[in-house]
Amino acid sequence: MKDYINYNEWLIVEKGFDPGLNRVSESIFSIGNGKMGQRANFEEKYSGDSLRGSYVAGIYYPDKTRVGWWKNGYPEYFAKIINSTNWIGINFNINGIELDLAKAKILAFTRILNMQHGLLIRTFIAELENGNRVEVNAQRFVSIDHTAIGVLRYSIKALNFSGEIKITPYLDGDVFNEDSNYNEKFWIETEKKIDGRKGFLTLETLKTKFRICTGMNFRILKNGVEADSQVISSEKEKYIEATQNVMVNEDDILTIEKYTATVTSLDYPVEKLNTETLKWVDLAVKTGFDLLFENHKNCWLRKWETSDIIIEGDVAAQQGIRYNIFQLNQTYTGEDERLNIGPKGFTGEKYGGVTYWDTEAYCLPFYLSTSTQDVAKKLLIYRHRHLTKAIENAQKLGFENGAALYPMVTINGEECHNEWEITFEEIHRNGAIAYAIYNYVNYTGDKEYLAPYGFEVLLGISRFWSQRVNWSEDKQKYVMLGVTGPNEYENNVNNNFHTSYMAVWTLKYTLEVVEYLQKEYPYLYNELISKWKFNAIKETSRWKDIIEKMYFPFDEKRQIYLQQDGFLDKEIIPVSELPASQRPINQKWSWDRILRSCYIKQADTLQSMFWFENNFTTEELKRHFDFYEPITVHESSLSPCVHAILAAKIGYVEKSYEMYLRTSRLDLDDYNNDTEDGLHITSMGGTWMSFVMGFGGLRAGNNQLVLNPFLPGKWKSYQFRVNYRGAHLILKKEKDKLTIVNDSSISVPLLVWGKQVTLEGNSSKEFLK
């Protein structure tokens, strides 16, 4: 755990520069707009340790799988959202010396991320090797108003010298991914042009043939007046630049405004990329930095109007939740159903920046409650678009009859994860996708989504579960063999509770959907029977048999479900007894030792308890939490949020707060010592859930919102907002009361602390407790 980020309600602040923390800060201060994102790399040259990263949504490279032992069914590649053209770069040469903070003496340094306005700011004072001192103020943003545009303003003041400053803005496409399996570069150049200050660079990905064009223009002001010195432009492979030399006296300030645009062949015909890019560049220059930022800022303020959470009395918690909301809002906007949410978003290379089950399990609730309904719906449509590929994935593993296995990792529907124990075994992901359909329909009331989209996905998944189980003569039960649950510190286990529970639940829910379609959409249902060759009587009969006779490992003594067969053969030693020097175990222990231990990476059995809490009594939830929480190391970013919500449910207020603070500040404080690889974007959805579903006690069910809020001890109050079926609610919890404002014309049925009430449109109500 690191503790160098200053507490502030709206700002992320780093005071002083530690090169050893630079990669962590590059992740923490990342910015994006749903279409592209940029790590917080320096604009000027930096020869120290850095992970340079500029990423564009949907543009990927299929990096050939690298394994020691190839197995049938292995994916041929791992899809990666690849590092693209560096658009922020500006080189500075001051009286013959390069400005490079790895070589200069840093006298002052501050980096600020303004979350309210979506602005990255960096200021520093540096002394160069020749004794020249400069004071720099750099600001940049990627526009949410015009998502092709990225803009920066860089001011440099001569503090103690006169002379010449050579300024060279550039575009550099000769970039690479550190995680390239074969040390390849993934781009080739197709075209470039630089004329004075204005130019463009067009690249094409190997294999996938995506094209990306980045354009730039800039202007330089000296003490607020345009500098008119000569501009010399040049180019080389995958690179263009323009250089302007400006003479300065002591206290003179040079300001460089660099305007860029990035467009891709996903959105424009290849033959129009260059012209469209330059149109966006021209628009940016014409609009100017200040107005571009004003429009961008207003877009951010509108986002905060529907998603902000306010905490009174705890700055660390306040900063944490806003940071998570900020990153979620700048990673996915729901404007393009071809896109999804990578575990690292636009902040790093790890996990390839592509889709995992995290989206359905942890991110969907945030977008359901803070955005319009269509934003969340597009996340479901994304999976429906990939149904054919999911069926092909299952066929590769030997499944038949339209069984669908959704990939563990994908960008186009094909499985591309290249670790066998996850690719072949971590099949609980299918259950998460099925649960997301239920979650969406239950929250929005949009049952029409089931006909046909939801049903088609559920049918494919149910067929998979039906074939994946087998009958055990010994147990006289159906069993699920050779799987990996959410706890990836166990591999190739039998009868993982969560996986088996998800299979049974999916079959039950699909039966409910079949009954609904038969009643409400009989003609469409008959068409679907024909389209999918659905033998309703035979297939549903088997599903019902599986539901009735599924085996779940259970310990009679403790009265708990076991994570998997044989779990109690392990030596059960609480995490609290592990020396701090051995944590995190995934960085300190051998894999063999981890697999033999009792330690749980993330919520596994408790994941089912969270999703299906109504199927268990409070006492049952407590027994399971009391057993599993002490042996959970939370070395997955997805773990603390589930424990926070369950702890709140069973009345463990202090534990709930502890887990919330951990998940909300996971990256800000680098709890797991891995933030340098990029942020944990999908777990940030879990942070929102831990607040709203944990402290707020929010649930949706029986066509109403259920609320059982409480106030953590040190807080004076909190306030959050949710959208629900067209209504917008503002909920404020204070010590002895809850106030709910319905900021819409739509009435909302509520169940507050067990009391049934309807909150009429444009009204408010207080509840005392």
Residues noted as catalytic:
488
Q: In this structure, what DSSP letter does residue 493 have?
A: B
- Taking the C-alpha atoms of residue 525 and residue 520, their distance in angstroms, rounded to an integer, is 9
**Helices 315-331 and 681-689, packing angle to 10 deg:** 130
Place of tokens 């260059």: 274
User: Cβ contacts of residue 29 below 8 Å, gap of 6+?
Assistant: 12, 14, 40, 111, 113, 120
Which among 381, 307, 332 has a CA at the least distance from the CA of 691? 307
SS (H, E, C) 245-292: EEEECCCCEEEEEEEEEEEECCCCCHHHHHHHHHHHHHHHHHHCHHHH
CB-count burial class (<10 Å; 0-12, 13-18, 19+) for 3: exposed
Coil vs helix vs strand at 352: helix
User: Given the DSSP bridges, would you call strands 755-759 and 748-752 parallel, antiparallel or unpaired?
Assistant: antiparallel
Torsion from C-alpha of 712, 714, 718, 724, nearest 10 degrees: -10
Minimal CA–CA distance to 752: which of 769, 736, 735, 764? 769
50 CB burial (10 A radius; 0-12, 13-18, 19+): middle
The SS3 assignment for 15 reads strand
Nearest to 681 by CA among 356, 254, 264: 356
Largest CA distance in the chain: 89
Residue whose C-alpha is closest to residue 467's, from 532, 400, 561:
400
Contacts of 580 (CB under 8 A, 6+ apart): none
The three-class DSSP label of residue 602 is coil
Contacts with 755 (C-beta within 8 Å, 6 or more apart), sequence order = 767
Letter string b/e over residues 218-256, b meaning 16 or more CB atoms within 10 A of that residue's CB: bbbbbeeeebeeebebebeebbbbbbbebebeeebebbb
50 CB-near residues (< 8 Å, 6+ apart): 22, 23, 26, 41, 42
In the numeric block, which tokens belong to residue 588?
A: 């300190």
Q: Which two tokens stand for residue 136?
A: 């720099």
Bridge-partner residues for 204, per DSSP? 188, 211
Joined tokens for residue 569: 């053969």
Distance CA 720, CA 328 (A): 16
- Residue 13's CB is within 10 A of a number of other CB atoms, namely 17
* Residue 399 token pair: 């499944």
Distance CA 561, CA 581 (A): 32
Strand, coil or helix: 438: helix
d(CA 711, CA 733): 7
CA gap 349, 478 in Å, rounded: 41
Of 125, 56, 111, the C-alpha closest to 87 is 56
